Structure 1
Amino acid sequence: MTISLDLYRPKALDLPAPHAEAVRAPAPARITGVGTAVTAESYSQQELLDIFAITDPKIRSVFLNSAISRRHLTLPPQDSEGNRVSEPQGDLLAKHARLAVDMGLRALQSCLDDTGASLRDIDYLCCVTTTGFLTPGLSALIIREAGIDPSCHRVDVVGMGCNAGLNALNATASWARSNPGRLAVMICSEACSAAYTFDSTMRTAVVNSLFGDGAAAIALVAGDDEPAAGPRVLSFASHIITDAIGAMRYDWDSDQSRFSFYLDPHIPYVVGAHAERVVDRLLSGAGLSRSAVKHWLVHSGGKKVIDAVRVNLGLTRHDVRHTTGVLSDYGNLSSGSFLFSYERLLEERVVEPGDYGVLMTMGPGSTIETALVQW
């Protein structure tokens, strides 16, 4: 008996012919505007040493050798004798809410002015902050205060630290890419004046010598018909140095009855040693070498951090000129620092179509975040 195998072969299905043109991937999101804001008062490092009557030579050396000229800060109130009083944690949280909303709103408006958009155009809002805790989040407060459409999609990124701006940019760019033609905005608002501790330790001295108040906002839109002024956000790469997970942390200090930031003195060298790995992975995905990158916008984490990253990546001082300039004029602004550098790069008017840029932030985890952009 012979059995025909044709009985067991699937019959050809009568399917329509495939499309002649393949479906194109969504266009990358493009940065269409940027804006920044700071608090009203700024102080030199010497002025701060005088205001707080700091005489310890070691602590004074930390302040005066920080490569920081001025920082915007909202100092504690004075008592009847003119001395600065220590604010309890509740007062610091209230300060954070007030400053973060105010700076965030001003940075947002500056960004929209740069973009040529209005508040009613915003379809997605991502807010980043680490210097205080808010429930409801900063996004809800800004939507209410600004009068943004309450149906706006929103996300709050809280507690990720100085690297958080690129984590949030990843989410914001992804939303924009999935919603072509719709405006997405990210705001980083850090009231570092609301995250301090007074004591005589070197740990506190390093932290108090470094941070400043500031906010930055950027707008993104995806779509082939968008103007080509700003860079396209091409890709991201991350690296968590798990062996150094406690090297940067913001946790409860029982002695002070408040949250306190800790920064390990070895962290600049740890971050620097791992910078090549994540940057090369970012660039290899696009078939690029470091020499192909014309613009480097690195987080202004501190003089030693910047130097360690620069040396390990083989960058020149000119490559990180905006990073060091922002550090000098504002100190470490936490999550929004790299956007202050981005704004300065645009003001130079040296960027040309086709130029590649790398954005880089570092923070708790210990974490290095990177993004590749192209004009």
Structure 2
Amino acid sequence: MTRAASPPGAASLEQPAPAGKNTTGTARIAGVGTATSEQSYSQAEVLDLFAITDPKVRSVFLNSAIERRFLAVPPRGADGTPRAEAQGELLAKHKRLALDMGARAVRACLADSGLDLADIDYLCCVTTTGFLTPGLSAHLMRAMGMRSGTSRVDVVGMGCNAGLNALNATAGWAVANPGKVAVMLCTEACSAAYVIDSTLRTAVVNSLFGDGAAAVALVADPPDAAHGPPVVAPDPGSPRILGFASHLISEAIDAMRYDWDDGQGKFSFYLDPNVPYVVGANAEQVVDRLLGAAGLRRSDVRHWLVHSGGKKVIDAVRINLGLTRHDVRHTTGVLRDYGNLSSSSFLFSYERLLTERAARPGDHGVLMTMGPGSTIETALVQW
């Protein structure tokens, strides 16, 4: 099989090749690994920790379909409650957490793939919860002792959808370098992106996000043309990435955004209340475009791994796509146990699917992420 060339932004999908010829190869997901920050809290524990008594705010937290989240709470002040952290402290927290979680996720991914640190040829790091120069990839390479010749790229500030944007680029690198190992890491220290105040605007955000990191290793099937032996031969049982499709909802560009809060002296994330309905209303067209390019229908898809954006977002996507609650069980389970993990959420769901051992050879799966832009990103995989 070979992957036909597609115009920029279009889904890139496999097309039949001449018998016995594989001219470009296909990227496969060789392994996955996840990590979180150290301490988890129930929603009630978070409310009590920050001494939040407003009944409206408490209702937002307690009706979120989230039971626990991993968070790195601020140091306690003189009154015993966590004190406000300045923007500089939050950036330092982001660096510390993102590197720690990221390194552990990469190691878990390599162990799952049967690979070593020295096997990594390309590293793509994704984060939205802080900013570093040099980028997180450079800091991670030094901290983990990666080879200095490893190619790297950083995807910063794209939001919850960014994992699939980066997976697209990483898969492209893997196909262009068959047999070599490409690792994509999403590491989100959401504890470093909080503003603590009494408004409902921040209550929605503060009730939702948690700390988490996830990494995947990709290796492309070597083409038939002989260019020397591949560095790593991919496991034929791992899912192939068949293509991608994107959809930018430009009229909702301000629905999810970071604003600078002069009163707080830090960035504050904003979520428009209509986000679930906007995302839900646009989910069908991008999914149908993804599947249509492969000659598939929604009924042909056995596995749906949707970003754990929040209860209303998941419900809106599920209803608009005609999915069952069972179809999104991994998504709702990740939301329940971790909250919204931003760009890494869908890989936590993917890991749960693998643990369940429900995927069979020939099964198709759709990965879907949603985030600022407003954007819906999708990918089609096959076991």
Tell me if TM exceeds 0.5.
yes
Q: Deviations over 1:173-219 (max 9, x none)?
A: 00000000000000000000000001111110000000000000000
By how many angstroms is 1:171 displaced? 0.3
For residue 283 of structure 1, what is the aligned residue in structure 2? 291
For residue 373 of structure 1, what is the aligned residue in structure 2? 381
Tell me the SS of whatever aligns to 2:34: strand
Q: Distance in 1 between matches of 2:127 and 2:259?
A: 15
Residue 346 of structure 2: which of 330, 338, 352 is its match?
338
By how many angstroms is 1:229 displaced? 2.2
For residue 353 of structure 1, what is the aligned residue in structure 2? 361
For residue 106 of structure 1, what is the aligned residue in structure 2? 104
For residue 15 of structure 2, what is the aligned residue in structure 1? none
Q: TM-score, normalised by structure 1?
A: 0.93
For residue 27 of structure 2, what is the aligned residue in structure 1? 29
Tell me the SS of whatever aligns to 2:251: helix
For residue 57 of structure 1, what is the aligned residue in structure 2? 55
Q: 1:248-267 alignment to 2 at 5 Å?
A: 248-267=256-275
Q: Distance in 2 between matches of 1:63 and 1:329?
A: 14
By how many angstroms is 1:22 displaced? 9.3
Moved over 2 A (4+): 20-25
By how many angstroms is 1:256 displaced? 1.1
Which stretch shows the higher mean deviation, 72-81 or 260-269? 72-81
Q: Does residue 82 of the first structure (1) align with residue 84 of the second (2)? A: no
Larger radius of gyration: 1
Q: Does residue 147 of the first structure (1) align with residue 145 of the second (2)? A: yes
For residue 244 of structure 2, what is the aligned residue in structure 1? 236
For residue 163 of structure 2, what is the aligned residue in structure 1? 165
For residue 9 of structure 2, what is the aligned residue in structure 1? none
| Structure 2 unaligned residues grouped into runs of 5+ | 1-17, 223-232
Q: Does residue 223 of the first structure (1) align with residue 221 of the second (2)? A: yes
Tell me the SS of whatever aligns to 1:149: coil
Q: Distance in 1 between matches of 2:267 and 2:20?
A: 54
Q: Distance in 1 between matches of 2:211 and 2:248?
A: 26
Q: Distance in 1 between matches of 2:19 and 2:300?
A: 32
Q: 1:305-324 alignment to 2 at 5 Å?
A: 305-324=313-332
Which stretch shows the higher mean deviation, 337-346 or 20-29? 20-29
Q: Distance in 2 between matches of 1:119 and 1:154?
A: 14
Q: Deviations over 1:126-158 (max 9, x none)?
A: 000000001110100110011000110000000
Report the aligned-residue RMSD: 1.1
Amino acid of the residue matched to residue 196 of structure 1?
Y
Residue 39 of structure 1: which of 15, 37, 40 is its match?
37
Q: Distance in 2 between matches of 1:237 and 1:47?
A: 40
Residue 154 of structure 2: which of 153, 156, 160 is its match?
156
Q: Distance in 2 between matches of 1:91 and 1:27?
A: 45
By how many angstroms is 1:53 displaced? 1.0
By how many angstroms is 1:300 displaced? 0.1
Q: Distance in 2 between matches of 1:161 and 1:227?
A: 31
Q: TM-score, normalised by structure 2?
A: 0.92
Q: Deviations over 1:25-80 (max 9, x none)?
A: 31110000000000110000000111111111111000000000000000010123
The answer as to whether partners of 2:51 and 2:81 remain within 8 angstroms in 1 is no
**C-alpha spacing 1:21/1:249, structure 2 compared with 1 (3 Å):** same
Q: 1:71-220 alignment to 2 at 5 Å?
A: 71-220=69-218
Q: Distance in 2 between matches of 1:347 and 1:62?
A: 32
Q: Distance in 2 between matches of 1:348 and 1:23?
A: 35
Q: Distance in 2 between matches of 1:25 and 1:231?
A: 19
Amino acid of the residue matched to residue 359 of structure 1?
L
Q: Distance in 2 between matches of 1:27 and 1:371?
A: 17
By how many angstroms is 1:23 displaced? 6.5
Amino acid of the residue matched to residue 209 of structure 2?
F
By how many angstroms is 1:112 displaced? 0.2
By how many angstroms is 1:21 displaced? 8.1
Tell me the SS of whatever aligns to 1:286: coil
The answer as to whether partners of 2:71 and 2:191 remain within 8 angstroms in 1 is yes
Q: Distance in 1 between matches of 2:237 and 2:50?
A: 46
Percent identical: 72
Q: Deviations over 1:324-361 (max 9, x none)?
A: 00000000000000000000000001110000000000
